[in-house]
Amino acid sequence: MNSTDVPRLSVRSPGDLIAAVPYLLGFHPADSVVVVAMQGKRVTFAARSDLPDLREPVDSARRMAEPARPVDEPARHLAAVVARQVADRATVLGYGPAARVTPAVDAVRVALADAGIPVLDALRVTDGRYWSYLCDEPECCPPEGTPYDTGSSELTAAAVFAGQVALPDRATLVAQVAPVDGAERAALRRATERAGQRFADLLDSADVLGGRTVRTAGRAAIRVALRRHRKGERLDDDEVAWLSVLLTDLTVRDHAWERTDGRDADIALWTDVLRRAEPEFSAAPGSLLAFAAWRAGHGSLAAVALERVLGRHPDYSLALLLDDLLRRGVPPSHLDGWPAVRLPGVVRRRGRRRRDAH
């Protein structure tokens, strides 16, 4: 599941809402159930989950009357996330074939009702048409579905004007954080070997009590990286390798964390470092990218970055913390004023040098 704060968007029809969803998520959903939370007519939050892979269709009427099943767990989770938001109603949208969408949408409707959130509408969307589960009037909800055209929607134009991006699908988003390969990967591997030797030499000369040499080198590398990316420049292979190795020291990583927010340059920097770092050094830049993306309201980008990190480093604490924030639907506004504010339960390390095992 992924979620995100959203820009101020007003919807006046199901077609408007369908047009808005790809910009709320950052990509066009498929085989998904999406909950769009609203306060009045303003969208305040959107969350998405994959459709459950059901082995057999479930009759809708029976499904609404039966006790919760294991397939309802994602629905309850979505409802719990939405319940934490500023919202007084929600619309549920299912993308895909009726046999899979209907039970998922029904489950989410039940879970939202149990959470005290009225469901304004429930839609199935596929092949340029939508069907409402709550309307059976043929004048407004014909049995063959209602066609829609997102390209002609004023909301689509407004989202594009506001700089919102809707990628073709989630796979395209995943590709944005995929590691580079080929000759570029080979060059970065050699650069990382040089950086590893440089780091070992640094440890030999470091102040054993305070690790000042490592912290000083880390702060210098972070300062250069942030300055370069805020000027629209890019680090070379040796700089990326050196930064990724230095970030294994948690005091260096936390120094970078404190200086990372939701700026476009921060997202660009950590995306670049994540893609180019050797996999064993991907945990810190991937987590920093997830944090920057979350702070900017790009919950889907944060989610795919964390998937990459946790797939390789399942115990990396910062990634687990951020993954928990996303799964609980904590809004980025929770950290307005960063880094002066602190995440609950998080102690920033200072003084003694520590190197992360991941």
Residue 358 has pLDDT above 50, yes or no: no
Query: Is 317 among the domain residues?
Result: yes
Task: Report how far residue 240's alpha carbon sits from residue 174's, in angstroms, rounded to the nearest whole number.
Answer: 21
Question: Are 198 and 327 part of one and the same domain?
Answer: yes
CB contact at 8 A, 288 and 270: yes
Question: Are 16 and 151 part of one and the same domain?
Answer: yes
Q: How high is the mean pLDDT of the chain?
A: 85
Residue 119 has pLDDT above 80, yes or no: yes
CATH assignment at residue 66: 3.40.140.10
Question: Are 185 and 308 part of one and the same domain?
Answer: yes
pLDDT, one tens digit per residue, over 229-288 is: 988 899 999 999 999 999 999 999 999 999 999 999 999 999 999 999 999 999 999 999
Question: Are 96 and 231 part of one and the same domain?
Answer: no
Helix axes 283-295, 237-246, angle to 10 degrees: 90
Question: Would you say the pTM of this structure is higher than 0.85?
Answer: no
Query: Is 23 among the domain residues?
Result: yes
pLDDT-wise least confident of 79-83, 129-133, 300-304:
79-83
pLDDT-wise least confident of 63-77, 116-130, 233-247, 275-289:
63-77
CB contact at 8 A, 214 and 206: yes
Query: Is 10 among the domain residues?
Result: yes
What is the residue whose two structure tokens read 């000042």? 212
Question: Are 220 and 138 part of one and the same domain?
Answer: no
In sequence order, what are the residues at sequence separation of 6 or more whose Cβ sits closer than 8 angstroms to the Cβ of residue 222? 243, 252, 255, 256, 259
Query: Is 344 among the domain residues?
Result: no
pLDDT, one tens digit per residue, over 12-57 is: 788 888 988 998 898 999 999 999 998 887 888 889 999 987 654 4
pLDDT recorded at residue 357: 40
Q: Which of 167, 197, 231 corresponds to the end of one domain? A: 167
Range of the domain at 56: 2-167
Query: Is 358 among the domain residues?
Result: no
pLDDT recorded at residue 341: 73
More confident residue, 58 or 282: 282
How many domains does the chain divide into?
Answer: 2
pLDDT recorded at residue 206: 57
Return the amino acid letter for 124. R
At residue 319, φ and ψ (nearest 5 deg) are: -65, -40
Task: Report how far residue 91's alpha carbon sits from residue 118's, in angstroms, rounded to the nearest whole number.
Answer: 9
Question: Are 191 and 210 part of one and the same domain?
Answer: yes
User: Which of 202, 204, 207, 240 has its CA nearest to residue 221?
Assistant: 240
User: Can you read off the two tokens belonging to residue 100?
Assistant: 């899979």
Query: Is 225 among the domain residues?
Result: yes
